[in-house]
Chains A and B, each alone.
Chain A
Amino acid sequence: MTMSKSDQSVHKRSVRFSPERSLFDQLPAETRIVSRRVRTAELRTEEFLLNVGPQHPSTHGVLRLVVSLDGEVITQCDPDLGYLHRTFEKISENRTYQQIVPFTDRMDYLGSMNANWGVAVAVEQLAGIEVPERAEYLRVIVAELNRIASHLMWMGAFGADVGAVTAFLFGFREREMVLDMFEEICGSRLTYGYIRVGGVAEDITPRFVKLAQEFLDLLPSKLNEYHDLLTGNPIFKQRTKGVGVITLDEAIRYGVTGPMLRSCGFPWDLRKDEPYSIYERFDFDIPVYYDGDCFDRYRVRMDEIGESAKIVRQALEGLPEGDFKVKKLARNIKPPVGDVYVRQEAPRGEYGVYMESDGTIKPNRVKYRTPSFSNLSILALMTVGWKIADLVAILGSVDIVLGDVDR
């Protein structure tokens, strides 16, 4: 078949990427394939798939993110979880009620005290155990100190994520003082197992009180130091302000809680809204910010450090005399048949424990609702359209603990 003159002209035009669709369709099939290939090469660049993690300096553990990039801009981000899954829920179902507590240390290892507490309260509610007042005070003190330590550690890690390595060491320096206190009362620095069913493991010592006073006196000046180093820094602001914004509506739809939710302008804190333990006796505020970006998440946490310090100070002043645990507790607790759901405000958000008893010494069903998991679920939504450098800042601002995500 010979090509007519008009056909040739059409062919020429198609090579010059004529936008007319009708002309393109008129072309012979083989020409169309070639021309389409040229078109795609000309107009659309190839997607760049980047595998971040599970071993990466900024995934805070073993999180894997499969990121599609258009240049430096993220077009898609798929978190791949489960690298640290240790079946804690199933293990908990095969242990006696008292034996569950140490496992929760390994879930949120930066907020172990809070993790212990939830389980202890769940078992106490199931079995109807009344906890002495002094034990409640001690629980509040250590849980709030743990919150401070967790936020300090987060501040350091977040600073390192955006490139301010010095902040990392500053955060650790003050966290060390909290760890010293915990070492004093329970002997360990990371997995405490201090809050137990029926009270706490040991009474506090005079040295603990002295260390705590020193720490609380020092903290305001140190907070100012962090504000000098990070909060007022123009580069830090540039890196965090308006980055990774989520709206309140999105946050609620994804079940985001804790500082992330409070940075979207919703003052939801279980310590105030559903006061558990003895929190209604203390005077403290819930810091709220309204932009829902990385900078506001940072500010919420920094303010919470101060509020937690206020609670610890009041609790230390009002600490009553008495027992620090229930005097007589059965070796194997057998709660009556029933179930319970306990939720508390952990450093990272709402921590829930569902426990179902069938009347034996082991729970029939245990489920942990961990804040990191829910907070991480919004990551894919938050990161699209931002740059690869922002991915690190946004992921850091979520404050995940992989042990808490995978359980």
Chain B
Amino acid sequence: MNTMLSAILGVLILFGVIALQGLILVYMERKVSAWMQSRLGPNRVGPWGLLQTAADIVKLLLKENIRNERSDRVIFFLAPILAFVAPFAAFVTVPFAATIGFRDLDMGAFYVFALGSSVVFAVIWAGYGSNNRYALIGAMRSAAQMISYEVPLVTAVLGVFLVAGTLSLREIVQLQSQGLWYVAVQPLGFVLFLVAATAESNRAPFDLPEAESELVAGFHTEYSGMKFAFFYLGEYAEMLVSSCVLVVLFLGGWLIPFANNANVPTWLHLLSFVSKVYLIIFLMMWFRWTFPRLRVDHLMAFGWKVLMPLALVNLLATGLIVYWLKS
């Protein structure tokens, strides 16, 4: 009974944290884009427009849920749920600080990537279920894109696992505290992961599944109200989880650079982790508001002909070096 209660409590806390992060990220995206486009961004609702996203959530809650008459009812309903739940569940294994985190799994990294790749089902369901041609094209693109980028993404991080010798995210951070951060050990892997993770979370310049100027809104064209909000929240949750994993794998997780991390209070560790994550998120936003969108065939070519060989070379080199050091 007690474990049940704590599990429910944990889920509620997790949901609260992620939803709050979602609100903050949407606000941040608006302000960052406004800053890059010499605009002001939201500034009417609340101080500095801080309550704008909250007002938007209220609006979305009150909106009517419209469903295309000829859509597939079940699939149409399930898609936004999966789109949100998968990245949300991935947070379970992320270590926010040495003692803060929900569950440390032995196969933590594997679990995160497995959940990350299941988002593609949500996109395909949404595209297929809504019986809309734009949505269908978006879904087809998404399927192709996810496969093209999932493979280099995972191949790029295999190097880290070779070096670390573990798949537990917490242990990977602890190993980094004893030596260099893995961004120094695996610089190529870091860059590959950053690119592939941006593509994986469907953000510009890889936002082909929703490509506003071509496909209206892509796979979520037919969604409105809270269902749309779930896709939206899911996208930000996914961005958040990719950044978290990136920080954990390459940037030393909660560790503070040039400090004796053993004597630092936990809240500083947490602050260090959060600021690193937000730095990466800012980088992703910077990409989005600077680059034009790639074309679908260029995207595939980039994934398979540039990222994939580089990832393989990285893996091979790492393997050889690790073998040589061990023997």
Contacts and interface: CB of A to CB of B under 8 A. Distances in A.
Interface of A: 48-51, 56-58, 69, 72, 159-166, 168-170, 173, 229-230, 233, 235-236, 238-239, 387-392
Interface in B11-55: 33, 36-39
A271 B298 CA distance: 40
B312 interface: no
A233 B291 contact: yes
B213 A57 contact: yes
Given A72-B137, A169-B37, A235-B291, A387 B216 contact: no
Contacts of B215: 388
B294 A58 contact: no
B295 interface: yes
Nearest to A393: B295
B205 A163 contact: yes
Nearest to B293: A163
B291 A164 contact: yes
Contacts of A162: 213, 292-293
B296 A72 contact: yes
Interface of B: 33, 36-39, 133-134, 137, 141, 204-205, 207-208, 211-216, 289-298
Q: B207, B208, B292, B293: which has the most chain A beta carbons within 10 Å?
A: B292
Given A72-B137, A159-B292, A233-B292, A238 B214 contact: no
A94 B134 CA distance: 44
A164 B295 CA distance: 13
Given A162-B293, A236-B292, A388-B137, A170 B37 contact: yes
Contacts of B214: 58, 388-389, 391-392
Given A169-B37, A173-B38, A238-B295, A229 B211 contact: no
Given A72-B137, A233-B292, 4 more contacts: A160-B213, A164-B290, A164-B292, A239-B293
Nearest to B289: A166
A66 to B, nearest CB: 12
A390 B292 CA distance: 13
A163 B204 contact: yes
A159 B204 CA distance: 14
A153 to B, nearest CB: 15
A235 B37 contact: no
The 7 tightest CB contacts between A and B, nearest first, are: A163-B293, A169-B37, A164-B292, A162-B292, A163-B292, A58-B213, A389-B295
B216 A229 contact: no
B292 A389 contact: no
Contact of B211 (A50, A168, A169, A389): A389
Given A169-B38, A170-B37, A163 B297 contact: no
B300 to A, nearest CB: 11
A235 B133 CA distance: 27
6 contacts: A72-B137, A163-B205, A163-B292, A166-B37, A238-B295, A392-B214
Interface-central residue, A163, A230, A233, A388, by most chain B CB under 10 Å: A163
A391 B291 CA distance: 19
Contacts of A72: 137, 141, 296-297
A233 B137 CA distance: 27
Contact of A163 (B137, B211, B296): B211
Given A72-B137, A164-B290, A387-B296, A392 B213 contact: yes
Nearest to A236: B292
Contacts of B298: 235, 238-239
Nearest to A390: B295
Contacts of A166: 33, 36-37, 289-290
A163 B291 contact: yes
Nearest to B288: A165
A69 to B, nearest CB: 8
A235 B216 contact: no
A271 B118 CA distance: 60
Given A159-B292, A162-B292, A166-B36, A235 B205 contact: yes
Contacts of A229: 290
A230 B297 CA distance: 20
Contacts of A164: 290-293
Contacts of A389: 208, 211, 214, 293, 295-296
B213 A50 contact: no
Contacts of A238: 294-295, 298
Given A163-B207, A166-B36, A169-B37, A239 B292 contact: yes
Contacts of A159: 292
A333 B39 CA distance: 48
B292 A235 contact: yes
Nearest to A168: B37
Contacts of B291: 163-164, 233, 235
For B205, B213, B297, which residue has the most chain A Cβ atoms within 10 angstroms? B213
A229 B205 CA distance: 14
A375 B215 CA distance: 24
Contacts of A392: 213-214
Contact of A235 (B137, B289, B294): B294
Nearest to B301: A238
Nearest to A69: B137
A160 B11 CA distance: 40
Contact of A48 (B39, B133, B205): B133
Contacts of B289: 165-166
Contacts of B38: 169-170, 173
A273 to B, nearest CB: 35
A70 B318 CA distance: 43
A165 B205 CA distance: 11
Contact of A50 (B133, B208, B292): B133
A168 B293 CA distance: 14
Contact of A387 (B133, B207, B292, B297): B297
A22 to B, nearest CB: 39
Contacts of B205: 163, 235
A268 to B, nearest CB: 30
Nearest to B213: A58
A159 B205 CA distance: 13
Contacts of A163: 204-205, 207, 211, 213, 291-293
A229 B213 CA distance: 19
Given A238-B294, A238-B295, A57 B212 contact: yes
